Structure 1
Amino acid sequence: MEINATYNSLVAVGDSFTEGMSDLRPDGSYRGWADVLADRLAARAPGFRYANLAVRGKLIGQIVEEQVPLAAEMKADVVTLVGGLNDTLRPKVDMVRVKDLLTEAVGHLTPACGQLVLMRSPGRNGPVMERFRPRMEELFTHIDELAARHGALVVDLYEVPALGDPRLWDVDRLHLTADGHRRVAEAVWQTLGLTAEDDWRAPLPAAAGPGWVARRTADARFAKEHLGPWIGRRLTGRSSGDGRPPKRPELLPYETGQETGSAARPAAGSET
């Protein structure tokens, strides 16, 4: 059922998933689902304002410290909060602390915005994800509980088989392609009660898979360009987001059409 609502402002909080990594514009900047969503909301509301505080690589503690207070001060109609997944992908993680920090973030943001939106992030199949899946599902269960307690909306991307299709993931196997980000934007759009414009759950058309040689070549490239550097950062505590500012740190007017542009492959060594 559509809720005939007009949202005049949006603040996005999180890590690389919300920053929009692997959905590159021609100028090298990232677009992503939050920008696509902002563009669509702006078309309905003259004077629409948008801020994106997300920075790649951020852990939930950093999100709570650096982004949540700023987002709360902005008093936006909609705030999206996606965080904690980077923590689950660390070699060692205190899940109790992660859940406590997420609880703190939700408690801070809920009274400061019109509608808080949480998310069960998508995850593709594979040996790397299988190792961390129990942590991810523990995080998602907690998200459901927080949403029920605080009246937040939950966008459930995790239970949608189509979003596990390798064709919706970039070569780093951690970030969605432009098409994947568009599907996420549509999912949030519909969760906000707005009229569906596309079936974001629809499977991709059937296609012949790559042959054995092509798969092994892709695996070797992935290991060299992405998995190795990713493991190295995890072991040393470094992040590609260190010292990087958010791309839209202020809640300012957003003109429609800013998300337009073709996607390209990100540089090697990107991370969530």
Structure 2
Amino acid sequence: MGPGDRVRYVAIGDSHTEGVGDGDDVLGVRGWADRLAERMAATGARVEYANLAIRGRLAARVRAEQLEPALALEPTVATVFAGVNDVIRSGYDAGAVIGELEAMFAALTGAGARVATLTFPDIARVAPLARPLVPRVLDFNERIRAAAGRHGVVVADVARYEISTDRRLWATDRLHCTPLGHDRIAGALASALELPGADDAWTLPLPVLPRPGRLPAAADEIRWLGAFLGPWVVRRLRGRSSGDGRVAKRPGLLPVETG
């Protein structure tokens, strides 16, 4: 990928790919996929980019709603990241979820796209109360690596790096990234895709901060329970999703402008 190359980049997935945590719903969200498209354009390539991701989507719904539109755009590069919404639900079926992801890998690589995906960091180091989910996340990552290997999909293995669990990369809901976190993920994918100028700077640690005492840490957990986990549980009980009524923010290929 470089000067003069034509690139059609299509991103599919859930809130992480949509860009939740990087911006807001008034001015719009940006996210790592937008940032990755900008890095592609910075190589001098002529980049067109579509983002079909919608927050709250489970892997099966990502495949059902986004795969065919993605294929219709004839991407030369695609990113697929979904399944985290499945992992955190009680009815999680690892085989079924990875099957959905692998079907997307197979279809997109079979259509000639270069496909990239991600692993998910140790959730307990971001949200300690989610520690019971750690075995699921570790298994999910191993299955992602294996499925990607079967289809020649590039893996930005962010879970293997200490920086991935730095709280400064995570929004207050502990499920989505901050702008800094989204930028680091874009860097990871740029490196995995071997974009010109990409390096391992995304892995570098941030300056060390003092560790909070036990009482402030406990108070932080209580605030998180009330502000984020509680409302999330209520939505599940009501059969509602954060993505209800939403549509893709960038459903068609549009040129990416470089600053």
User: Of 217, 234, 237, which residue of structure 2 is paired with 1:235?
Assistant: 237
Shifted more, 207-216 versus 226-235: the winner is: 207-216
**Corresponding position of 1:60:** 59
The Cα of 1:141 is off from its aligned counterpart by 1.7
Partners of 1:96 and 1:190 in 2: CA distance: 29
Q: What percent identity do the matched residue pairs reach?
A: 40
The verdict on how the C-alpha distance between 1:71 and 1:128 changes in structure 2, with shifts beyond 3 A counting, is farther
Shifted more, 162-171 versus 21-30: the winner is: 21-30
Shifted more, 220-229 versus 117-126: the winner is: 117-126
**5+ unaligned residues in a row in structure 2: which ranges?**
none
User: Which residues of 2 match residues 208-219 of structure 1 at below 5 A?
Assistant: 208-219=210-221
Partners of 2:80 and 2:202 in 1: CA distance: 20
Partners of 2:25 and 2:175 in 1: CA distance: 21
Instruction: Name the amino acid aligned to 2:166.
Output: D
The Cα of 1:241 is off from its aligned counterpart by 0.3
- Greater relative contact order: 1 or 2 (C-alpha under 8 angstroms, separation 6 or more)? 1
Q: TM-score, normalised by structure 1?
A: 0.86
Partners of 1:81 and 1:179 in 2: CA distance: 21
- Cα-to-partner distance string for 1:4-27 (whole Å, 9 max, x where unaligned): 695612111101111111111695
User: Of 219, 222, 226, which residue of structure 2 is paired with 1:220?
Assistant: 222
**5+ unaligned residues in a row in structure 1: which ranges?**
258-272
Instruction: Name the amino acid aligned to 2:229.
Output: L
User: Which residues of 2 match residues 36-47 of structure 1 at below 5 A?
Assistant: 36-45=35-44, 47=46
The Cα of 1:43 is off from its aligned counterpart by 2.5
- Cα-to-partner distance string for 1:45-102 (whole Å, 9 max, x where unaligned): 4541000111111000100000111111111111000011110110122222212222
The verdict on how the C-alpha distance between 1:128 and 1:235 changes in structure 2, with shifts beyond 3 A counting, is farther
**SS of the residue aligned with 2:28?**
coil
Q: CA RMSD in A?
A: 2.1
Instruction: Name the amino acid aligned to 2:160.
Output: E
Is it true that 1:22 corresponds to 2:21 in the alignment?
yes
User: Which residues of 2 match residues 98-247 of structure 1 at below 5 A?
Assistant: 98-124=97-123, 125=125, 126-194=127-195, 195-197=197-199, 199-247=201-249
Partners of 2:24 and 2:171 in 1: CA distance: 15
Instruction: Name the amino acid aligned to 1:207.
Output: L
- Cα-to-partner distance string for 1:198-242 (whole Å, 9 max, x where unaligned): 611111111112334432332222111101011222333321001
Instruction: Name the amino acid aligned to 2:99.
Output: D
The Cα of 1:179 is off from its aligned counterpart by 0.7
**SS of the residue aligned with 1:208?**
coil
Partners of 1:34 and 1:49 in 2: CA distance: 12
User: Of 232, 255, 258, which residue of structure 2 is paired with 1:253?
Assistant: 255
Partners of 1:27 and 1:102 in 2: CA distance: 31
Partners of 1:165 and 1:97 in 2: CA distance: 31
Structure 1 or 2: larger helix share? 2
Partners of 2:219 and 2:6 in 1: CA distance: 46
**SS of the residue aligned with 1:49?**
strand
- Cα-to-partner distance string for 1:129-155 (whole Å, 9 max, x where unaligned): 321122222222221122221111111
